[in-house]
Structure 1
Amino acid sequence: MSTSAEQPFVAVQASPHHAAGSPPAAAIPDPDQAVASQVGTFDNARLRKQFADQGAFLYLDDFLAPEVTAQLIASARGLLGEVNRNYLPGHKQGGSVSRHTIDRLAPFIAALYRSKELIGWLEQLTGDKLMESPADDPHAYALYYYTRAGDHIGWHYDTSYYDGRRYTLLLGVIDESSCRLDYELHTRNPDVPDMPGSVQIPPGGLVFFDGDKLRHRISPARENEMRVSLTFEYVTDPNMRPWRRVISNLKDAIAYFGFRQVFSQFARRNSARRNGGRA
């Protein structure tokens, strides 16, 4: 494991014969066992201090077990036909696949998101009790695709519309690109100078941060490049005020997943609640 931004890496290539991103059942790793085998080798006290000293930010260039990385690569390639592309002039261009599609076609990702070993390790870093994002949040776990020249996202914070904090776990899946995660630490802390940084996240690498504290962007892709990342969002309070829910849904529909994906799921959840849990 290393925290260096410039370490060489070898991407794990998945077989092209896996339909819908799913290898044979025997090849699918157990998320809890795979995570436990990795984090058990870490100096967690040192990582916790590093996370705090960097203003709730941590980068590891080698986090996932190779078999987990291979499974994510296969899933990402299998979901290429499900990508919803968006273009917001001056801010972002690219594609995304929401947790609702992932639930149908790549359940391993959902299982990894819910891994007790993973959540427990993240709680050690933050000192917070972390919860899954609500079932109608399309960002709870999502894949982001940079596959065309100019695909990027501009400077932003992962603003939380929840009543508590929202932490972002960003996992490298495919990186056949020159894209970089550029970031600035401590921008919300007037007592500490801003600290810029930049990393190119290899497959299996990790970035973990408090979404309201890290200012960041993804630099533009070039011709014939491909970058896919996976994000998990965890919250300290799953409640959201109604007016914030409206803003969050509109942002997700316009900038990421499309109106059908966001609002059909939202309507289905509301209908289920009104019918006593029956969809």
Structure 2
Amino acid sequence: MSEHASSDIALAPPPARPATSQPDAAVAHAIEQLDTPALRADFERQGAFLYLDKFLAPDECAQLVALTRAMQPGLNRNYLPGHKQGGSVSRHTIDEQAPFIADLYRSKALIGWLEKITGDKLQVCPDTDPHAYALYYYTRQGDHIGWHYDTSYYDGRRYTLLIGVLDDSSCLLEYELHTRTPEIPDEPGAVQIPPGGIVLFDGDKLRHRVTPAGPNETRVSLTFEYVTDPGMRPWLRFISNMKDAVAYFGFRQVFRRLLGGANSSGK
């Protein structure tokens, strides 16, 4: 109540912010502004790759920034000589501290649009997959990841939706299209994803890296993973779990969540 209002007048509470209570509605509104058939054609032409510099609205971006800053103290930092250096927050921590991100990941409007772009029927990843949705932090000089494919250990295809959250850096997402299509020449490119921008790709087809951060730079991205078949063979599950533990989230975060679980991650 305002300090100038009478104490016997009941004021209505302020309306809830759509960014925190209705992520599906916010995504649906964003999608209405897009030419989906044209974007589907771009995705096909580029070998299962699409970049948009604008997707999420400012309210949703602000919510992601706030959550990203709040979770930064609990990130798991990792260093693999010659390949990667940075910090990660898995979906398990996000589930506990940032349900808005989990709701955004499961948005029916978002999944339906991704299906139109990819041409595949998509499913969310199993509950035990720490990569289903995760935050990746480049906050120290030299943080980076080298050239790689996002190899899927799932029985079906897996698509990555990369969402820009914070970028006060010189980091670039560099990529090469068509590297696994011999009849088409490789096509190099690079983007710097602004807050709310997205990159969608099939990780088994896109060779890519993130260039090293400079001093006093910050880059944070959010990834969503969707699959066409959530099944995974046991020996591939073991390889995937070990990779997650060593290179991303730590043994405690990965294996304490797998106790009693039947499925696992696929990155």
Q: Which residue of 1 aligns with 2:79?
A: 87
Q: Is 1:110 equivalent to 2:110 in the alignment? A: no
The residue identity in structure 1 corresponding to 2:61 is T
| Aligned mates of 2:167, 2:92 — CA distance in 1 | 24
Return the match for 2:199 from 203, 207, 226: 207
Q: Please name the residue that 2:265 is paired with.
A: none
Output the amino acid matched with 1:216.
H
Q: CA deviation at 1:26?
A: 2.5
Residue aligning to 2:68: 76
Partner of 1:151: 143
| C-alpha distance after superposition, 1:124-181 (max 9, x if no partner) | 0011000000000000000000000000000000100000000000000000111010
Output aligned runs, 1:1-279, within 5 Å.
Answer: 26-27=16-17, 28-269=20-261
Q: How many residues align?
A: 247
**Counterpart amino acid of 2:261?**
R
Please list the CA deviations of residues 90-125 of structure 1 after superposition, one character each: whole Å capped at 9, or x if unmatched: 000000000000000000000000000000000000
2:216 corresponds to which letter in structure 1?
Answer: N
Question: Structure 2 CA distance, aligned partners of 1:31 and 1:165?
Answer: 26
Q: Deviations over 1:33-56 (max 9, x none)?
A: 111111111111100000000000
Q: Deviations over 1:168-217 (max 9, x none)?
A: 00000000111010000000101100000000000000000001000000
Contact 1:29 1:68 in 2 (8 A): no
Same amino acid, percent of matched pairs: 70
Q: Is the 1:29–1:67 contact (alpha carbons within 8 Å) kept by the matching residues of 2?
A: no
Deviation at 1:66, TM superposition (A): 1.1
TM-aligned CA distance change 1:136 to 1:47, over 3 Å: same
Whole-angstrom CA distance in 2 between matches of 1:25 and 1:131: 33
Task: Please state how far the C-alpha of 1:269 moved relative to its aligned partner.
Answer: 2.8
Report the TM-score, using the length of structure 2 for normalisation.
0.91
Is the radius of gyration larger for structure 1 or structure 2?
2
Question: How much is the aligned-residue C-alpha RMSD, in angstroms?
Answer: 1.1
Cα distance in 2 between the residues matched to 1:140 and 1:25: 31
Paired letter, 1:181: L
Q: What's the CA shift for 1:25?
A: 9.0
- The alpha carbon displacement at 1:82 in A equals 1.1
* TM-score, scaled to structure 1: 0.87
Query: Could you tell me which residue of structure 2 aligns to residue 3 of structure 1?
Result: none
Q: Per-residue deviation at 1:81? A: 1.0
Q: Which amino acid letter does the alignment assign opposite residue 166 of structure 1?
A: R
Cα-to-partner distance string for 1:41-98 (whole Å, 9 max, x where unaligned): 1111100000000000000000101111111101100001110000000000000000
Q: Distance in 1 between matches of 2:21 and 2:223?
A: 19
Where in structure 1 do 4 or more consecutive aligned residues deviate above 6 Å?
none
Q: Which runs of 5+ in 1 are unaligned?
A: 1-23, 271-279
